[in-house]
Chains A and B, each alone.
Chain A
Amino acid sequence: MKNIDSKGHVTGKSIYLDDIPTIQGTLFGVIFDSPVAHGHIESIDYSKALALPGIQTILTSKEIPGENQIGGIFPDEELFAEEDVHFQGQPIALILAESEHIAFQARKLIEIKITEKEAIVDPREARKKNQLIFPPRTFSLGNTDSAWSQCAHIFEGQADTNGQEHLYIEMQGAYASPLENGNIRVSSSTQGPTAVQRTIAKVLGMGMHKIEVDVVRLGGGFGGKEDQATPWAVMAALGAHVLKKPVKVVLHRMDDMRMTGKRHPYSSDYKIGLHEDLKILAYEVIFHQNAGAAADLSPAVMERTLFHSTNSYFVPNVKATAYSCKTNLPPNTAFRGFGGPQGMFVIEAALVHAANELGISAHELQKKNLLQDGDEFPYGQIAADVGLTQIWSDMEAKFDIKGAEKRVSDFNSKNSDKKKGFSLQPIAFGISFTKTPMNQARALVHIYSDGSVGVSTGAVEMGQGVNTKMLQIAADMFSIDPSKVRLESTNTTRVANTSPTAASATADLNGKALQNACYALLTRLKKSAADHFGSAASDIQFKDEQVINSGKATDMTWNQLIDQAFLERVCLTENGHYATPIINFDKEKEKGHPFAYHVYGLALTEVTVDCIRGTYEFDSVKIVHDFGESMNLPVDIGQIEGGLVQGIGWMTMEELDYDKKGKLRSNSLSTYKIPDIYSVPKEVLIEALETEGAEQAILKSKAVGEPPLMYGLGAYFAIQNAVRAFNPDAQQTFDAPFTHEKVLMGLYQI
C-alpha cells in the first residue's frame, strides 16, 4: 500500500502546522534569545520594543504562573532565562504582536546588557573542569585489564564525530487557543504530544487534563521534535493563557537553527587488542558526549552509545565509559540513531586503524569478528537470531565484495587524478526504548454504525509512514476496504500518556496496541454473528467485508453485522493497550535484556575522489538489510534510502560549526549543507535478507526508522580508503565529517 498521505502531499492539500487557518485575533510570537553563549544578564530594556505599534506584550519568566522549568529527564532547563544564560539562542522572552513582521522589528529594539562569562564548547575541556550533566557510566564484560597481555596487537587512538542539524524542512512551531474554563488546545509539530502536554501543565501550574495537544503530521522530525518541540508549544500556551487569545509561534529557519540542539558531537578514545588470529580480545573506549547546556535527552542518548559501543562485533572483554559533558551549546538532543551511530563510529575507526597497521583489509577484520547467536553483548543480553553471517555471505554472493575490491584497485592503478575507495559497514541496532517503562502504547478504535472505522494511536506521522502501517493493520484485521478506515490525528484526549514517536519502535508498540483493540472488537463481533447464525464464535471469520460462517460465505456483509451489533448494544469502541514483554534493564548492574530484538544489515560503499580538487562522488551503495518480513516494502525502502543519505550527509558535507565562543557559524541553509539530489550515491541497491521475521516486531516486520542511518558511516571509511590510495602518507585521523577541505588537506599532506 502506498503512503496514505501521498495524494495529499503531491497536491499540496496536506495540512501542516503553519497551514492551519488562522483564527481572527491571533497573535504571533517571536522569541528574544541570548546573543552570547554564557553570561549573566545585567539588564534588559524592552521599552522601545513595547512602544512599537502592533506589539501586544512581551512575556518573560515573570509571567509564568507555574514553574519556569521544561527539563524532561532532569529539571535543569528554564523556559525563559532569568539570571544567567547558558547558550547562544537560549530563549529569554516571547514577543507577541499582530504580525510576525512587527514582532521581528520589535526584537531588534530590545536592549540587553550581559556580562559575558567564559564559554566551554569542547567536551574534553568540560570533563577536565568537572562540568558533567550527571555521573559517568561504564558498561563492562569480561576483564580488559587481564586481556591486554594476551593480545598480539594493540592499537590506541582518538575518534571524533561532529554534531548534525536535523534540518526537518518544516520548522518548529505551535499554535495555541484558549478554550472555555481556562482550558487550552495546542496544535504542535511534535513527536511527543504527551511531553508537550505535561510540560505546559507544569509551566502553567495546572492539571494535564486542562491541556489538549493535537498533532496532524510533521514535515520531518528525525528526533529534533522529540523533546525540542516543547518550548515553543509551552510559549504559545503561555501566551494564550495570559492574553486569552490564540497564539502562534513558528520559528524562522535561522532562529530554529540557533535555538535548537542537534545530534551530539562526541570525542572518544579507544584501545583495541587483537589476538594473533585477528579476533578482537579486548576493547576499551571512553566517550565524551557534548551534551550542551542542559540534560534534555542526553542521558538516554549516552546510554544508547554505550549499548552500541561494540556495534555488530563480539568482543569478550569490554570496558566502555561515557561522560555527558556540559558545555555552552544548545542542549543537544535526539537524532535518528540516538547516540548509537556515535558509539559505532569509534569501534569502526579502531578496526580500520588496526587493519591499516596490519596491512590487511578492514573487511577481513570485520568479518572475522561478527556477532553470532549466543554471544553476549556488554550489557548482558544474549544475541539471538543474528543475521550477520548470512547477510555477509548474501553480500558476497549478490554484490561480489572481492570484485569490488579488485575493481577499486584496478582503477587506482590506472588513474592518477582520481582514486576510488570502498568500505563495508555492518550494523546491529537494538529496538526498544532503553528505558523499559516507555515501551507501552495504546490505540483507540471506533467502529461507526455505518461500518467505517476511526483509529487513534499515540504514533505521530512524520513521513515514516506509520499511519499507513496502522491503517493496513486495521483494514487487514477487519478485512474491510482501506478507504473505510480513517487515521485520526494524534491527540492527548484520545490517547493519553504516550511515549514519543521515537526509538524506531512506534509502529511495533502502537501497531500491537491497535491489534489488541481490533482483537477485542472482533471477538465481540464474532459473537454477535455467531448468535445470528446459531454457530460458535470460533466458526466466524470476516473476508472482504463479508461474514464467513464455518468456512462458507454468508449473505451478511460487514456493514449489516455492524448495524446488527449496534442494535444489540454491543460496544463498538475499544482501547487497546500493549507493553513489550521480556525486556528489562538493571541500571545498578548495567545488565539486562533491554531490546526486544536487533536489526542487522551490511552496506558496501564505493566512492571516487577527485584528487585535483579534493571532491568526491559516491558511485554506489549496496545494502543487504534485515527487514524481518516487511509489511510495506515501498515505505521501508524509503526509510533505508532516506536514512542512508542522511547518514552520508553527517559523514561528509554536514559541518556543524560553532566558534570558540559558542556562536553558531553554520546558522542557515547557505552555510550548513545537507545532501542535494546530485550528492547522493549514483546507485543504491537494496536486497532483503530472507528471514522468518521477529515475533516482537509488528507482523514480524522489523523496525526500520533508525538503523539505515548507520550505513552512512561507511561513507567516511570509503573516502579515507581513497585518500590513502593517493597519499599513503596521509595521517590517519578519524574526525567526521570528511569534508572537501579535509580530503584535499589529506591528499596533499606531507
Chain B
Amino acid sequence: MVEFILNNERINSNKPTGSLLLDFVRHDKALTGTKIGCREGDCGACTVLIGELIDDQMKYQQVTSCLTPISNVHGKHVVTVEGLNMEDLSPVQKYMVDEAGTQCGFCTVGFVVSLTGFCLANSAPTYEGAIAAINGNICRCTGYKSIERAAKHVTNSLANKDTNETVNWLAEHKFIPAYFDDIRSLLEEIEPAHIIQGTGELVGGGTDVYVQKPDELIVKNVGTIASDPGLRFIEIENGTCILGGGTTVSDLLESEALRQLFPRLSEHIILVSSSLIRNISTLAGNFVNASPIGDFSAFFLALNAKITLTENKQSRSILLKDFYKGYKDLDKSDGEIITSISFEVPTNDSHFNLEKVSKRTHLDIASVNTAIQISVVDNAIASAHISAGGIGPIPTYLRTTGEFLEGKEISTENIKVANEILQLEISPISDVRGTADYKRLLLRQLFFAHFIKLFPDQITLESLQ
C-alpha cells in the first residue's frame, strides 16, 4: 500500500505500486490540470511538486509525474496545480497572466508548478535559479520571452523570502495556500518505506525504465529505492567520497562538499537533462541503464569510481570501468543493487572537466560526451583518466589514450598525438544523433576543449589547428 498526501487530501492506494502518478492524478482523481504532452519526461506538461520532510524541513521539488511510479511518492506530499489554486491568483500565476506568458495554455500549468517549486526552494532566489526551475518545461507557442519576464518578476517578489521558514513565509504571502503549513505533521504520521521490494523491476527515479517499458511496469508492483533515506547520502571520509545508491543528480548538484571538489559542477550538470528529471533521476540508474551516452557514466569513469553492489546483504565492489562488458551487458546479477558509489577525492594538482554536445545544448542526449581527470605535477601529467560516450557500444574508458599521456608534458604536440591514439580507441556509428564522421571530429574537438579549458595559458585552439 502506498500512502501520501495529494494536495490537502490523504491518499491510501492499493493500485500497483508501478502505476504512474500522472494517471493517478488525472484519471483516478480527475485532477485534469496536469497535462500529458509526451509521457517520456521531455515536455514538462505533467509537472507536479513532490515535498519531502528532510532534516526537519519540507523540501519541495518539481518532477515529471509521467515517469514517477506512485511507489516513489510514499510518505511525501504531491502537489498539482489544483493544490496551488487560491481565491486570488498566486504571484506566479499573476505574473504569467500579466506578461502574457501563456498562449494555448497547454504547457502553462507545468510552468506555473515549476516556478512555484522555485519559490519553495529553501535557498535565496536568483533569476538563473528561476530559469533553471523551468528548464524542463517546453512551450511551443510563446518563444519563452514572456515567460522569462514573468520569471523575473517572480524572482523579485521573493526578495524578502525567509529561507529558514520558506513554507511559512510563502503561505503568509499568498504564494501557496495555507494548508501547506499543516502538511509536515501529516507526513510525520506516515510510516517511512525502506526498499519496497516488488515482484517487478527495481526503479530508481524511473526516468529511464518508464521511457523504455511503461506498459509493462504500470500493472506491476515495482521495487523502489527513492523513498529510502538510507540510500541518499554523500560523505567524505579518509580521502574517499561515498555516495549512496539512491543519490539523485540534484543531490549531487546541491552538495556543498562536491561543489568544492568540482568548482565547475553546476556548469557540467546544467548540460544533463533538466531540473524536472535531475530531481528524481539517480546516478546508479544512469550506470545501470548502460546507455553509451550516459553523462554520469562518463563523469564517474573519469573519476575512476568504484561501485558497491549488494544482494541479500552480500556486497562486492568493482571499478565502474569494469562494470560495462558490452552493449547493455553489465557485470551485475539481476538481484544486485548498487548501494554506493565511491571515488578518491581529487588532489590539489588534479583537474576535472566534462564536455557534452548534443543537437540542443540543454535537455538533450549527447551526440558525444567526454570527461577527464588529469593531475599535473611540474607540468608533467601524473595521471589521466579519460572517458567518452556516443563513440562506441558502451560508455568508454579511454585507457590507451590515458596511458599515453601519463608522464608526458602538457603540450600541443602531445595532445595532437593523443588524439590520434584516441581515434583508434573509438568506433562511432551513424544514427539520429549524428554521423560517424561528425562524432569523430566532435570527440577530437571536445578532447581539445578539455585542455583549452583546463590549461588556457598553454593550450589554445589556434595552436591545435
Residues of A within 8 A of B146 (CB): 637-638, 641
Residues of A within 8 A of B93 (CB): 7, 10-11
Question: Per-residue 0/1 for B159-180: is the Cβ within 8 Å of any A Cβ (1 yes, 0 no)?
Answer: 0000000000000000000000
Q: Indicate whether A637 sits within 8 Å of B362 (C-beta atoms), given known contacts A13-B33, A668-B40.
A: no
- Asked whether, in the complex, the Cβ of A744 is within 8 Å of the Cβ of B441, the reply is yes
- Measured CB to CB, the residues of A under 8 A from B are 2-3, 5-16, 18-19, 21, 101, 104-105, 166-171, 217-222, 252-253, 416-417, 462-465, 611-615, 634-635, 637-638, 641-646, 653, 655, 657, 665-666, 668-671, 673-680, 684, 739-741, 744-745, 748
- What distance in Å separates the Cβ of B376 from its nearest Cβ neighbour in chain A? 21
CA distance A455 to B32 in the complex (A): 27
- Asked whether, in the complex, the Cβ of A676 is within 8 Å of the Cβ of B100, the reply is no
Interface centre among A11, A169, A171, A646 (most CB of B within 10 A): A169
Q: Which of B32, B107, B431, B460 contacts A169 (CB 8 A)?
A: B107
Q: Which of B80, B142, B364 contacts A642 (CB 8 A)?
A: B142
- Asked whether, in the complex, the Cβ of B461 is within 8 Å of the Cβ of A417, the reply is yes
Residues of B within 8 A of A253 (CB): 37-40
Interface centre among B134, B137, B359, B363 (most CB of A within 10 A): B359
Q: Indicate whether A169 sits within 8 Å of B82 (C-beta atoms), given known contacts A12-B34, A740-B367.
A: no
- What distance in Å separates the Cβ of A411 from its nearest Cβ neighbour in chain B? 16
Q: Which of A8, A670, A741 contacts B365 (CB 8 A)?
A: A670
Closest to A7 in B: B97
CA distance A639 to B264 in the complex (A): 38
- Asked whether, in the complex, the Cβ of B142 is within 8 Å of the Cβ of A641, the reply is yes
Q: Which of B119-127, B183-191, B331-339, B442-450 lies on the face that meets chain A?
A: B442-450
Residues of A within 8 A of B131 (CB): 677-678
B109 sits at the interface (CB 8 A): yes
User: What's the dominant secondary structure at chain A's contact region?
Assistant: loop
CA distance A7 to B109 in the complex (A): 11
Question: Per-residue 0/1 for B354-382: is the Cβ within 8 Å of any A Cβ (1 yes, 0 no)?
Answer: 01011111111101000000000000000
Residues of A within 8 A of B435 (CB): 741
- What distance in Å separates the Cβ of A168 from its nearest Cβ neighbour in chain B? 6
CB interface residues, B 288-341, toward A, < 8 Å:
none
Residues of B within 8 A of A611 (CB): 461
Residue pairs across A and B with Cβ atoms less than 8 A apart, 5 shown, are A9-B108, A169-B107, A670-B211, A678-B131, A741-B434
B105 sits at the interface (CB 8 A): yes
- Asked whether, in the complex, the Cβ of A220 is within 8 Å of the Cβ of B434, the reply is no
Residues of B within 8 A of A168 (CB): 104, 106, 140
- Asked whether, in the complex, the Cβ of B103 is within 8 Å of the Cβ of A679, the reply is no
Closest to A461 in B: B104
- Asked whether, in the complex, the Cβ of A220 is within 8 Å of the Cβ of B141, the reply is yes
CA distance A615 to B434 in the complex (A): 14
Residues of A within 8 A of B446 (CB): 613
Closest to A739 in B: B359
Q: Indicate whether A642 sits within 8 Å of B143 (C-beta atoms), given known contacts A614-B442, A657-B432, A668-B42.
A: yes
- Asked whether, in the complex, the Cβ of A12 is within 8 Å of the Cβ of B82, the reply is yes
- Measured CB to CB, the residues of B under 8 A from A are 30, 32-40, 42-43, 45, 80-82, 85, 89, 92-93, 96-98, 100, 102-109, 112, 131, 134-135, 137-148, 211, 215, 218-219, 355, 357-365, 367, 431-435, 437-438, 441-442, 445-446, 448-449, 452, 460-462
- Asked whether, in the complex, the Cβ of B143 is within 8 Å of the Cβ of A614, the reply is no
- Asked whether, in the complex, the Cβ of B142 is within 8 Å of the Cβ of A21, the reply is no
Q: Which of A9, A417, A645, A668 contacts B38 (CB 8 A)?
A: A668
CA distance A302 to B462 in the complex (A): 47
- What distance in Å separates the Cβ of B449 from its nearest Cβ neighbour in chain A? 5
Q: Indicate whether A12 sits within 8 Å of B33 (C-beta atoms), given known contacts A635-B100, A646-B140, A674-B138.
A: yes
Given contacts A657-B432, A680-B144, 15 further A-B contacts (CB under 8 A): A2-B97, A7-B89, A10-B92, A12-B34, A21-B30, A169-B43, A170-B35, A612-B452, A615-B357, A638-B143, A642-B141, A673-B360, A676-B138, A677-B148, A745-B441
Q: Which of A18, A612, A643, A679 contacts B360 (CB 8 A)?
A: A679
- Asked whether, in the complex, the Cβ of B138 is within 8 Å of the Cβ of A744, the reply is no
- Asked whether, in the complex, the Cβ of A11 is within 8 Å of the Cβ of B81, the reply is yes
Q: Which of B97, B142, B445, B461 contacts A416 (CB 8 A)?
A: B461
CA distance A745 to B434 in the complex (A): 11
Q: Indicate whether A676 sits within 8 Å of B104 (C-beta atoms), given known contacts A2-B97, A12-B82, A670-B211.
A: no
Q: Indicate whether A670 sits within 8 Å of B361 (C-beta atoms), given known contacts A169-B140, A637-B100.
A: no
Q: Indicate whether A6 sits within 8 Å of B432 (C-beta atoms), given known contacts A169-B43, A673-B360.
A: no
CA distance A231 to B350 in the complex (A): 61
Residues of B within 8 A of A15 (CB): 32
Q: Indicate whether A2 sits within 8 Å of B98 (C-beta atoms), given known contacts A169-B35, A416-B462, A669-B40.
A: yes
Residues of B within 8 A of A13 (CB): 33
- Asked whether, in the complex, the Cβ of A101 is within 8 Å of the Cβ of B100, the reply is no
- Asked whether, in the complex, the Cβ of A12 is within 8 Å of the Cβ of B145, the reply is no
Interface centre among B40, B42, B449 (most CB of A within 10 A): B42
Residues of B within 8 A of A643 (CB): 143
Residues of B within 8 A of A744 (CB): 438, 441-442, 445
Closest to A645 in B: B143
- Asked whether, in the complex, the Cβ of A169 is within 8 Å of the Cβ of B135, the reply is no
Report, nearest first, the 6 A-B pairs whose CB atoms are least far apart: A12-B33, A463-B104, A219-B106, A9-B105, A645-B143, A463-B103
Residues of A within 8 A of B134 (CB): 677
CA distance A653 to B360 in the complex (A): 6
- Asked whether, in the complex, the Cβ of A101 is within 8 Å of the Cβ of B215, the reply is yes
Q: Indicate whether A417 sits within 8 Å of B452 (C-beta atoms), given known contacts A169-B35, A669-B42.
A: yes
- Asked whether, in the complex, the Cβ of A677 is within 8 Å of the Cβ of B144, the reply is yes
CA distance A603 to B121 in the complex (A): 39
- What distance in Å separates the Cβ of B434 from its nearest Cβ neighbour in chain A? 5
Closest to B355 in A: A613
Q: Which of A3, A12, A18, A613 contacts B103 (CB 8 A)?
A: A3
- Asked whether, in the complex, the Cβ of B42 is within 8 Å of the Cβ of A613, the reply is no
- Asked whether, in the complex, the Cβ of B360 is within 8 Å of the Cβ of A105, the reply is no
Q: Which of A10, A222, A612 contacts B140 (CB 8 A)?
A: A222
Residues of B within 8 A of A464 (CB): 103
Q: Which of B143, B358, B364 contacts A644 (CB 8 A)?
A: B143
Residues of A within 8 A of B437 (CB): 745
Residues of A within 8 A of B98 (CB): 2
- Asked whether, in the complex, the Cβ of B143 is within 8 Å of the Cβ of A16, the reply is no
CA distance A101 to B139 in the complex (A): 27
Q: Which of B100, B102, B106, B364 contacts A16 (CB 8 A)?
A: B106
- Asked whether, in the complex, the Cβ of A10 is within 8 Å of the Cβ of B441, the reply is no
Residues of B within 8 A of A417 (CB): 452, 460-461
CA distance A745 to B438 in the complex (A): 7
Q: Indicate whether A653 sits within 8 Å of B359 (C-beta atoms), given known contacts A6-B96, A220-B141, A611-B461.
A: yes
CA distance A465 to B100 in the complex (A): 10
- What distance in Å separates the Cβ of A544 from its nearest Cβ neighbour in chain B? 25
CA distance A3 to B145 in the complex (A): 16
Q: Indicate whether A673 sits within 8 Å of B359 (C-beta atoms), given known contacts A740-B367, A744-B438.
A: yes
- Asked whether, in the complex, the Cβ of A10 is within 8 Å of the Cβ of B143, the reply is no
Interface centre among B93, B103, B108, B452 (most CB of A within 10 A): B103
CA distance A594 to B362 in the complex (A): 43
Closest to B93 in A: A10
Residues of B within 8 A of A642 (CB): 103, 140-143
Residues of A within 8 A of B138 (CB): 169, 669, 674, 676
- Asked whether, in the complex, the Cβ of B432 is within 8 Å of the Cβ of A671, the reply is yes
Residues of A within 8 A of B92 (CB): 10
Q: Which of A6, A104, A680, A739 contacts B143 (CB 8 A)?
A: A680
Residues of A within 8 A of B363 (CB): 676
